[in-house]
Structure 1
Amino acid sequence: MNKGRSNPVRGRRDCMVRVAALPVAMLVLPQGSTAQTAQATPGGGEQPPDEVRRRRPAARLSGRGTLRFLGLHIYDALLWVENAIDSGNYAAHPLALELRYARSLYGSLIAERSLREMERAGPIPAIQSERWLAFMREAFPDVGAGDRITGLWNPADETSEFVINGKAGKALRDRAFGERFFGIWLGNSTSEPALRQALLGRKAP
């Protein structure tokens, strides 16, 4: 056995685990760290992806942010809306949150981190927590650079739908889930207020 020769497959897996295990995972940075965000100009000309345009013909770009951790580009987030969002009641508005990944992350770890971020808004009963985690493990695949996950929230039927690289994926009809999940980015309890401001198209205070 040649101990001096590295295994490229194992090296790639270790890298994915280290990045996915960061508190940022797919979502947010740990408290006290800095997200680098870039605010978008509404009406700046960027068109929504097909999955958003088909479901939300009137959608426009509200704002976008680029998230980095220790210099690593994790993802770009874009928020598509039909009308201006009341930030205190974001769940009352149809919206689409598009994540454009720049790195490889494991879907199972994305799901687990998502649940922990959802818990920032308050405790989640164990039965509900287990059901949500099981759903997200099915909904979120492993991703690599260039992959996209778009989450669409429809308050009319209380459904969260996830589209993977333009292809329809899993959906869950559960208002509490939708409020908690999209609240990771848009709720007052978000661990990344700068990213929230960028997505809402507002200047940081």
Structure 2
Amino acid sequence: MKLARRAALAGLLIATQARARSGLPPELAAELPGARLHGSATLRFLGLAVYDIRLWATHVPLEDPLGSPLALELQYTRALKGADIAQRSLDEMVRQGPIPAPQRQRWLAELQSLLPDVAAGDRLTGVQRPADRLRLFHNGRLRGEVADADFTRQFFGIWLAPATSEPRMRRQLLRLGES
């Protein structure tokens, strides 16, 4: 059993490394020309992988990663409902600081319209345009955008803000603590 588990993990690692070497996802070629893989991680819940996440950027200033053009690509390892992803995303955005109730309702509606149901293997890619907007792609196709700088900052803050619920993932994405 342990040997099979190790073989599966090794296969996943090889596939992830091959994907990283293959270059920028097609939807990002026009959105972030010259971007490269900056960091990657896996979100786990109760030990089970939920998604693999990759940070793409030309440059990520560590003092304010949320102030730069970048993209986060999430590749899901299991099926999830878009409504559940939207609610969890809003909950994580609220972790970063209070959001007035009317704004929370607007943001939840935005998230629900943007975030589809996903299956294992599906990719959601968010592109951050600082002080401007979020553009979201589902499996390479533009799903929509939100032209709200506060929304954009809070959304990407789910993974990159110091107040994230996943500080280890943040460190891996930003490559903090590496020499």
Residues 125-161 of structure 1 deviation map (CA, whole Å, 9 limit, x = unaligned): 11111111001001000001000000000116x1101
Unaligned runs of 5+ in 1: 1-37
- Following TM superposition, the consecutive aligned residue runs of length 4 or more in structure 1 with deviations greater than 4 angstroms are none
Q: Deviation at 1:91?
A: 2.2
Number of the residue aligned with 2:171: 197
Q: Structure 1 length normalisation: TM-score?
A: 0.75
Could you say which residue in structure 2 is the equivalent of 1:7? none
Q: Does 1:110 align with 2:46?
A: no
Aligned to 2:129: 154
Aligned residue in 2 for 1:53: 29
CA distance in 2, matches of 1:130, 1:88: 31
Q: Is the 8 A contact 2:66 2:161 kept in 1?
A: no
Q: Quick check: 1:96 aligned with 2:71?
A: yes
Higher relative contact order (CA 8 A, sep 6+): 1
Secondary structure of the equivalent of 2:50?
strand
8 Å contact from structure 2 (residues 86, 111) kept in 1:
yes
Q: State the distance in 1 between where 2:123 and 2:89 align.
A: 16
Shift, 1:170, TM fit: 1.2
- Distance apart, 1:87 and its partner CA: 3.0
Q: Give the C-alpha shift of residue 46 in structure 1.
A: 4.2
| Distance in 2 (alpha carbons) for counterparts of 1:127 and 1:88 | 31
Match of residue 80, structure 1, among 53, 56, 77? 56
How large is the RMSD of aligned CA atoms in angstroms? 2.0
- Greater fraction of residues in helix: 2
The equivalent residue for 1:3 is: none
The structure whose Rg is larger is: 1
* Residue matched to 2:153: 179
Report SS of the residue matched to 2:172.
helix
Aligned length: 163
Report the CA distance between 1:203 and its aligned residue: 3.6
Q: Is the 8 A contact 1:159 1:174 kept in 2?
A: yes
Q: Is 1:188 aligned to residue 162 of structure 2?
A: yes
User: What's the offset of the Cα at 1:86?
Assistant: 2.3
Query: d(CA) in 2 for partners of 1:122 and 1:88?
Result: 19
Over 3 Å counting, the alpha-carbon distance change for 1:68 and 1:164 in structure 2 is same
Answering whether residue 92 of structure 2 is matched by residue 144 of structure 1, we say no
Any unmatched runs of 5+ in structure 2? 1-12
Deviation at 1:88, TM superposition (A): 3.3
TM-score, normalising length: structure 2: 0.85
1:121 maps to what in 2? 96
Distance 2:170 2:122 in 1: 22
